Amino acid sequence: MTMNDEPLSHFRPAQGPGDWAEVPVHAYKQEAGVPFKDITRRVLFSSPELAGELRYFEMAPGGYSTLERHDHVHAVLILRGRGHCLVGSEVRAVAPNDLVYIPSMTWHQFRATEGEPLGFLCLVNAERDKPQLPTPEERAALERDPAIAKFLAE
Amino acid sequence: MTMNDEPLSHFRPAQGPGDWAEVPVHAYKQEAGVPFKDITRRVLFSSPELAGELRYFEMAPGGYSTLERHDHVHAVLILRGRGHCLVGSEVRAVAPNDLVYIPSMTWHQFRATEGEPLGFLCLVNAERDKPQLPTPEERAALERDPAIAKFLAE
């Protein structure tokens, strides 16, 4: 969990979509062996006064987040670019301003499949559990749906 | 406080910036006698699983939110349009993707002063206190700063 001790600046202007001078870029994951590609993480708002934390994730074209699930939920708003998203058993194209809700213990992944970046805001509880990766059997079960198999292979 | 009992749809596509078919528009304030102009409120994410709540506010050109303060903090990202924002003793122009943090007990107001709408995301704790309005003395104290007086008169 990332929690800033310093008070946040009142105003942090954007230099462009997904680009803020005062918002450092973090590694997407700390754990070794977790699959992902060409994705960065920025923490926009995290303070002791906020029960939620707002992050910004951006994938380069062809990049993807980790296929995972967890107890905590994700509340997502697409901020820039285009791509596809898996939530449970459904794959959908996503575009700016679309809302995506990922319920508890639901497999999910974002992919920048449209030859452009995909950037999204993600709201989570500040207190949350660690993600789980699919076992080979769980991944095989997902891939029995041709639309999901195609999505995961892109 | 708005808290949905129904499970959220996994995907809610946008019809345009600040426009979602499945997101109802709410009255900005329920209380009588609270000053504001040409502003709407949409609740994008509010569920028992989320400690935070993500709302979208939009002002028509010339519209403004209530000048207020409260114990809870606001974490804001400008989503569309342009305008100005007062936080504490500072007035700043704001544009899409800019981040604004409003600390506890800090006077604040948003105004669509640039001849176009101003729409922003606002993250708050689901559990929060009621806003306070300035007394005439508190408003007069703010107006002693010419930049704030100009902002409040626009």
Question: Band of the pLDDT at A1, cuts 50, 70, 90?
Answer: very low
Interface of A with B in 59-78 (CB under 8 A): 72-73, 75, 77-78
Residue of B99, B106, B127 to mutate for A, most A C-beta atoms under 10 A: B99
pLDDT at B2 exceeding the cut of 50: no
Quote the percentage of chain A above a pLDDT of 90: 79
Residue A53: which of B96, B125, B132, B64 has the closest Cα?
Answer: B125
pLDDT at A2 exceeding the cut of 50: no
How high is the pLDDT of residue A5? 58
CB contact under 8 A, B50 and A123: yes
How high is the pLDDT of residue B3? 47
The CA-atom distances, in angstroms, between B17 and each of A10, A86, B43 are: 24, 23, 15
Of the listed A39, A78, A118, A122, which one is catalytic? A122
**Quick one: DSSP state of residue B153?**
H
- pLDDT, tens only, A65-105: 999 999 999 999 999 999 999 999 999 999 999 999 999 99
Stretch B110-119: mean pLDDT, rounded?
96
The alpha-carbon gap from A80 to the nearest alpha carbon of chain B, in Å, equals 10
Q: In which region does residue A15 sit, left (phi positive, over 0), alpha (psi from -120 to 50) or beta (all else)?
A: alpha
Is B85 one of the catalytic residues? no
Closest in A47, A97, A125 to B51, CB measured: A125
Cβ distance A7 to B103 under 8 Å? yes
A148 close contact with B: CB closer than 8 A: no
Question: Band of the pLDDT at A6, cuts 50, 70, 90?
Answer: low
Stretch B135-154: mean pLDDT, rounded?
96
What was the ipTM of the complex prediction? 0.92
CB contact under 8 A, A14 and B97: yes
H-only helix segments in chain B? 136-143, 146-153
Stretch A19-31: mean pLDDT, rounded?
86
Question: Band of the pLDDT at B28, cuts 50, 70, 90?
Answer: confident
Query: Which backbone phi and psi does A106 adopt, to 5 degrees?
Result: -120, 125
DSSP sequence for B29-62: --STT---EEEEEEEEE--TT-SEEEEEEEEEEE
Question: Band of the pLDDT at A34, cuts 50, 70, 90?
Answer: confident
A88: number of Cβ within 10 Å? 15
For chain A, what is the mean pLDDT? 92
